[in-house]
Chains A and B, each alone.
Chain A
Amino acid sequence: MSRNPLVREVPPTTWYFRQPRYLRYMSREITSIFVGAYCVLLVVGLQRLSQGQAAWEAFLLALKSADSIVFHVLALAAAVYHAATWFNATQKAMPVQIGEDFVPGNVISGAHYVAWMVLSVAILYLAGVF
């Protein structure tokens, strides 16, 4: 008997349809497009600011358009989802051992959520929302 192993290739562009968990993974990765796009938007805003008051006000007006609002809602949802997956991962990446026991994972992730809330409130305060 000779060896003649059969190799089954993984389809390079459609593999993530094979399992729901792969789709969840891809949806997490795709959020980075929105996060990246929002960074570009911020850079464009800075550029308009450097060009003077008229350019800045035109930029602010553009932000109020329907397309812009839809984009902001999508980007916010993507950023929140991305952040949640990131915080949930911290308990795997940064376990804390005290003596023979490990701190429960939800305490580690929970601490990140608390820090997120505190920093968000601080930023909103500095932005004059309160």
Chain B
Amino acid sequence: MKERTVQLEVLRYNPDTDTEAHFQRYEVVCQEEWVVLDALNKVKADIDPTLNYRWSCHMAVCGSCGMMINGEPKLSCHAFLRDYEGVIRVEPLAHFPIERDLVTAPDDFMEKLKRVKPYVIPKEKKPISEGEYKQTPAQLMKFRQYSMCINCMLCYAACPQYGLTPKFIGPAALTLAHRYNLDSRDGGRKERQEVVATHEGVWECTFVGACSEVCPAHVDPASALQQMKITSSIDWIVEHLIPGGKS
């Protein structure tokens, strides 16, 4: 197997001793087919055990290992070393507070996720004895793409609106709201609109589109948000401009 020496420049921050973050450079002997996460694991195992970062599945499914790699939000298990030349700069996900080294605090995202009620709110509750809520393949396809989110938060790190206006509910949470709004079994859209159709909701989005470009699961949050802007506008027109109209 072909080996290659890689220069990693990693942002370090120790909450117990540091007031600012700083870069630390590591020289790591890597296999050519490795990903950035492998290089970090090598650093932790052989060079510096104090380095902190999150990871779990190593196959772009769990969404734990999101980092800024040369300024781009990426899953580090999906960032192949062969795609990079020179020094590789690794930083924690942008727009989130740094807990320690490459570990960020996801508290804000988790709070926003709860606010959009990302679960089926049945139109009509029925006893289990009446059987399951059925859905056709066409009804499934309507929202399937938006159900692929792995909560990796790369879209938040890519979204400049979230960086500039942290109260913005943000791409992933709003996309999940859209996913459940589109579900034929769901009747919770009106409840979600209280969060979605606000300045903190879809109207904070200016369609930069970066969220969709960086999404490792090809969810396309930008499309979900634009669709929600249209339906929210129709709600407003029906409510305010059509006599007797109710959203």
Contacts and interface: CB of A to CB of B under 8 A. Distances in A.
B105 A1 contact: no
A6 B160 contact: no
A92 B98 CA distance: 33
Given A6-B97, A25-B208, 19 more contacts: A1-B16, A3-B15, A4-B16, A5-B105, A6-B21, A8-B21, A8-B94, A10-B164, A12-B164, A15-B163, A15-B164, A19-B210, A21-B209, A22-B210, A25-B160, A25-B210, A93-B229, A97-B142, A101-B141
B138 A22 contact: no
B210 A10 contact: no
A25 B209 contact: yes
Interface string A75-94: 00000000000000100111
Contacts of B141: 97, 100-102
B222 A92 contact: yes
Interface in B191-247: 206-210, 212-213, 220, 222-223, 226-227, 229-230
B95 A6 contact: no
A92 B220 contact: yes
Interface residues of A, number: 28
A101 B141 CA distance: 8
B187 interface: no
The 5 closest A-B pairs by CB, nearest first: A5-B97, A92-B223, A4-B15, A93-B226, A10-B163
Given A10-B95, A92-B223, A97 B16 contact: no
A18 interface: yes
A7 interface: yes
B87 to A, nearest CB: 18
Interface residues of B, number: 35
A116 interface: no
A15 B206 CA distance: 15
Contacts of A15: 160, 163-164
B99 interface: yes
B13 interface: yes
A89 B99 CA distance: 37
A110 B16 CA distance: 57
Contacts of B212: 92
Nearest to A105: B223
A104 B194 CA distance: 32
Contacts of B86: none
Interface in A90-130: 92-95, 97, 99-102
A53 interface: no
B131 interface: no
B137 interface: yes
Contact of B160 (A1, A22, A92): A22
Contacts of B18: 6
A50 interface: no
A118 B20 CA distance: 59
B99 A99 contact: no
Contacts of B209: 21, 25
A5 B98 CA distance: 5
B98 A6 contact: yes
Contacts of A1: 15-16
A2 interface: yes
B118 interface: no
Nearest to A5: B97
Given A2-B15, A5-B98, A22 B207 contact: no
A89 B205 CA distance: 14
